[in-house]
Structure 1
Amino acid sequence: MAPISIQQEDISIITVAKRILSLSSQICFYLIANSFPEPSFTADEGDVPETPEYEALRAPLNDALHDIFRLVNGPKNTLKELIFSHYDLAALQVALDRGFFNHVPLPKASSSTSIMKSSEAEIAQKTGMDEGRTGRILKMLATHRIFKEVEDEPGSFMHTANSAFLSRNPEFYAAADMQMDDMFKVACEASAMISSSPFDLDISRSVFHQRYGTSMYQYYEQRPGKAQRFAKAMGSWSRLNRHIDELYDGFPWESLKTGKVVDIGGGNGHTSVELARMFPSLQFIVQDISPHMLSQAHQDVGDRVTFQQHDFFNPQPVHDASAFIIRQCLHNYNDKDAVKIVRAVVPALKRCGRGTPLLISDIILPESGTTTRFQEHHLRQIDLCMMVLHGAKERSKEDFEKIIKEADQHLEIVNMCRNPMGIGLLEVRLNVE
């Protein structure tokens, strides 16, 4: 029997609604069975579970929800929502920049019956802007359930789960603020970048470089305050997408015994610090070219995590390692530069013990049709992020294999794992007889 084409697929309001009901019921049963609280919009509620079982239900439910939204709205209304969405982001940009989220009081203990709120006038005064635009920004965000206007008290606002999450999580706030500040401004000029360089793409032809006249890394080197925000944002990104879990589960760290692990391009060291906590017998060296990133280093694991300034385009200086990690670095570079980064490690791999692994932790794009559209959409967002910021891209396993073989024909991927968010781990070794 021939496979069903997209045109023959049974997508209708009623069939999609049935799927939504089924998946929603399964989520409710899962929450009850595992003693997770029912999600709500109230400010004192926590986030949803971050378990593989919950993700396996959440992703297809989002596919179905987006389908029914588009079906009932039709093309005109669906596209209208999309082409006006930059105004929603503009409201969020102002609220983050002016600190709206820190000027509405969080709820007190759950036993309290009082409503914690602030008026437009109070928020405007604390954020240093006029009351009229303050209210307009708040009302726009409230349509996304970010803040809520108090019932029977127009002009006063209280936290919802979404706005309270930003208030309570400074690292996620930093990630959101960075995206709505530098990255939002850059993304708006993607078309201009392609017009100026329609066929070639590298870091000097990225949108970021075109707008600011320098690479993103040099930009932050020149702006220590923004560099600190970037470091906090990267810590939030790591926890948000469970990178550490993937590293933890994807490689037998105990087999290294009391070995030394080199974290190449490791930034402020949050990955190595987490691994050091999990594996107290291991030593870690965090390498980064940026003194600002290294200055943000954690110091709570004693001398088992040390820091070294190093440019990963230059030959790797550590020759007695048990393993090397390149985490969330290669996607910042085009294929030519990614090959150079991997190739710079090869002489050290040859001088270290036989079979010393190079662990590449990065997004691994799925093959077509192997994941939900909801999950793929987020990965495609990150792919375009790499394009506009660095003139780079996310890669599939096949893409990584090409880079690794070009770096050295004896390098081989011996193991691969990937979590539902697309974050993967490639175990690469030298196959030398």
Structure 2
Amino acid sequence: MPGKLGISKESGDGAAALQTASASFPLEELAWQCTKNAIAVSQYLSARDLPQPSHEPDGPSNTLPKDAPPSVRRARQSLIDAALQLFQLAAGPSEFIPNLAPGFQYVACLTWLLRYDIFHLVPASGTISYQDLAAAASKRTGGAESIPETRLKSIVRMAMTAALFREPEPNHLGHSATSALLAREADVHSWASYLSTRSAPTALAMTAAHDRFTPASVSKNETAYNVAFATNLPFFDHLALNPADTAEFAGYMRNVTTSEAVDVKHLVGGYPWADLGSALVVDVGGSTGNAAIALAKAFPDLQFIVQDLPDNAAAGREAASASLPAPILSRLTFQPHDFTTPQPVTNADVYLLRMILHDWPDHVAAAILKNLVPALEAKKKQSKLLIMDTVLPAPGQVPRSVERIVRVRDLTMMQVFNSHERDLEQWKALLAAADGRLRLRRVVEPFGSTMALLEVELEGEGEGNKEEEEEEDKEEEDGNWDISG
């Protein structure tokens, strides 16, 4: 009798036979990887009575809970990567161009659905006819525009092929798990809106920007964003002109910074903070203190100074005073500081730069680092610089499904800020450009994080030797020094 996977139980070890046979056939190997890892994820969920992945409107927002063990999270990552490769291999080169078309059409449909508030007009449960939905959307415009049912249907049915919405009965529309999340979560809605109305036009203007300003420009107002939105202002200055745009971007960032890939838990768990005792940590450019607060909650001996521009520092101080208990609040100080100027705190044990340097081209990033060198000199070997930012992998070094998201971040930095994400050699070059004594001691990339932790120390005169450098170079070649899981 065939099992659920079509492998006969009477044929002996069918799974082993399939795995052996797949070795010579890439399609079968990838299919086996999908099957094996899908079983691992499903069995983990089933054993804990957790919901299985589903497109139903009440389906889970995430495949796995955040506390799932690393082995299961790796199985999920391998499943996604194998599924992506399986699709690409099965489609073949001749289908490459046709399969680009759905990508930009999905963005076009998402933009339209957001513009006419379709996510909120579809009921949270049950369905609505296309005719009634078109009428409701027309009414939402104040009667200024009529939404034809035929066009609504074409756009929604295209979106359905990306698991947005369902049509459980003919000509009646209901939510899928993804569209229901967009309707339910304001920050996810802002994320989708920002990506479709800001990120997509910016990306499409990249070539025009390079034609207009030259591909080598590092000016913050000579970017694809400047071309797309016909402005001479840098990104944040332009965004500040419109309170609605500022609010949308804030929602987008809240959702981004709470996603698995950049979750602050990777900072908390990715470095031996407990070994520092009652150390003073300066969170340089720490905004309103999200990272410092998470660390303060986890490590009761650490002290923190959160530095940012005056408005952000004041907002952080006010929010912390209103929400945090005294034992945590007493270990937090909010200080106005512009990190493009010299560092005023010279007695800290750790200077943290989290998600800062990727916003800046190399010459500005080097200047930011130079402003920290005198502070590192003040305590000599007792002070460390901790950078948390992306370390770009070499092509093929990580699963393709992970690498493509990191590459998106790299392009976004270029298109919006004329900056870039950096690979390991570029990080070393940046440190050397700031000060030849800045020494990269270790790099740790927590599993599930798109960012790594780079520990940097200021080397004194005569410290270090050729033998140590050669040993480190050998370890890097062996692949067991630069990135550790």
Q: Shorter-chain-normalised TM-score: which range?
A: 0.7 to 0.9
Q: Give the drift of 1:252.
A: 2.2
Say whether residues 1:291 and 2:331 are aligned partners: no
SS at 2:396 equivalent: coil
Residue deviations 1:202-221, cap 9 Å, x none?
A: 12332123442221121223
2:83 to 65, 77, 86: 65
Identify the match of residue 420 of structure 2 among 360, 373, 393.
393
- Does residue 220 in structure 1 map to residue 239 in structure 2? yes
Aligned residue among 370, 376, 382 for 1:355: 382
- C-alpha contact 1:104 1:123 (8 A) present in aligned 2: no
Any idea what SS the aligned residue of 1:360 has? Answer: strand
2:164 — aligned with what? Answer: 146
Q: Does 1:121 find its partner at 2:134?
A: yes
Instruction: After TM superposition, list the pairs within 5 Å mapping 1:30-429 onto structure 2.
Output: 30-46=44-60, 47-49=62-64, 50=66, 51=68, 52-107=70-125, 115=126, 117=128, 119-121=132-134, 123-125=136-138, 127-128=140-141, 130-132=146-148, 133-152=151-170, 154=171, 156-202=172-218, 203-211=220-228, 212-240=231-259, 241-289=261-309, 291=311, 295=315, 298-299=319-320, 300-301=323-324, 303=329, 304-352=331-379, 354-419=381-446, 420-429=448-457
1:22 to 2:40 alignment:
no
Instruction: Note if contact 1:231-1:268 (Cα within 8 Å) is conserved in structure 2.
Output: no
Contact map agreement 2:221 2:235 (CA 8 A) in 1: no
SS at match of 1:79: coil
Q: Conserved in 1, the CA contact under 8 Å of 2:284 and 2:353?
A: yes
**Alignment coverage as a number of residue pairs:** 416
Decide whether aligned partners of structure 1 residues 353 and 70 sit closer, same or farther in structure 2, where only a CA change above 3 A counts: closer
The DSSP-based 3-state class of the residue aligned with 1:23 is: helix
Gaps of 5+ in 2: 1-22, 462-485
> 1:205 is paired with a residue of what secondary structure?
coil
Instruction: Kindly state the Cα deviation for residue 144 of structure 1 after the two structures are TM-superposed.
Output: 1.4
Please give the alpha-carbon distance, in whole angstroms, between the structure 1 residues aligned to 2:175 and 2:288: 32
Give the aligned CA root-mean-square deviation in angstroms: 2.7
- Structure-2 change in CA distance of 1:96 and 1:11 (3 Å): farther
Contact 2:33/2:78 (8 A) holds in 1: no
Distance 1:72 1:253, change over 3 A: closer
Tell me, what secondary structure is at the counterpart of 1:131?
Answer: coil
Q: Which amino acid aligns with 2:223?
A: S
What is the CA distance between 1:353 and its match in structure 2? Answer: 6.9
- Does residue 432 of the first structure (1) align with residue 460 of the second (2)? yes
Shift, 1:396, TM fit: 1.4
Secondary structure of residue in 2 paired with 1:204? coil
**TM-fit CA distance, 1:329:** 1.2
- Distance across 2 between alignment mates of 1:75 and 1:120: 40
1:127 and 1:276, CA in 2 relative to 1: closer, same or farther beyond 3 A? farther
SS in 2 for 1:427: strand
Q: Provide the residue aligned with 2:27 in structure 1.
A: 13
Structure of higher CA gyration radius: 2
Aligned to 2:20: none
Separation in 1, partners of 2:73, 2:35: 17
2:472 maps to which residue? none
Identity %: 28
Checking the alignment, whether the CA contact within 8 Å between 1:120 and 1:135 is kept in structure 2 is: no
Q: 1:402 to 1:71 in 2, by over 3 A?
A: closer
Q: Is the 8 A contact 1:124 1:134 kept in 2?
A: no
Query: Which structure 1 segments of 5+ residues have no match?
Result: 1-8, 108-114
How big is each residue's C-alpha offset from its partner over 1:41-90, in whole Å with a ceiling of 9 and x where there is no partner?
Answer: 11112121144333322333233322332343333333212134212101
Instruction: Determine the C-alpha separation between the residues in 2 that align with 1:122 and 1:285.
Output: 55
CA 1:97–1:319 in structure 2 vs 1: closer, same or farther (change >3 Å)? farther
Shift of 1:393: 0.9
The verdict on how the C-alpha distance between 1:143 and 1:32 changes in structure 2, with shifts beyond 3 A counting, is same
Is 254-263 or 402-411 further displaced after alignment? 254-263
Structure 2 CA distance for aligned equivalents of residues 312 and 269 of structure 1 = 15
The answer (yes or no) to whether the contact 2:306–2:313 under 8 Å persists in 1 is no
* 1:295 CA displacement: 3.8
Note the C-alpha offset of 1:345.
1.2
Aligned partner of 2:398: which letter? T
1:143-188, Cα deviation, whole Å (9 max, x unpaired) = 2111112414x1x322111012222332232222211122211111
Distance in 2 (alpha carbons) for counterparts of 1:389 and 1:294: 27
DSSP 3-state at the match of 1:200: coil
**Which deviates more from structure 2 when the two are superposed, residues 383-392 or residues 317-326?**
317-326
Q: Which one-letter code corresponds to 1:346 in the other structure? A: V
* Structure 1 residue 35: Cα displacement: 4.2
**DSSP 3-state at the match of 2:368:** helix
Superimposed CA distance per residue, residues 329-365 of structure 1 (whole angstroms, 9 cap, x where no aligned partner): 1111121111111111111222357422211111111
Q: Answer with 370-379 or 221-230: which moved more.
A: 221-230
The 2-side partners of 1:277 and 1:21 are apart by 40
The secondary structure found in structure 1 opposite 2:183 is helix
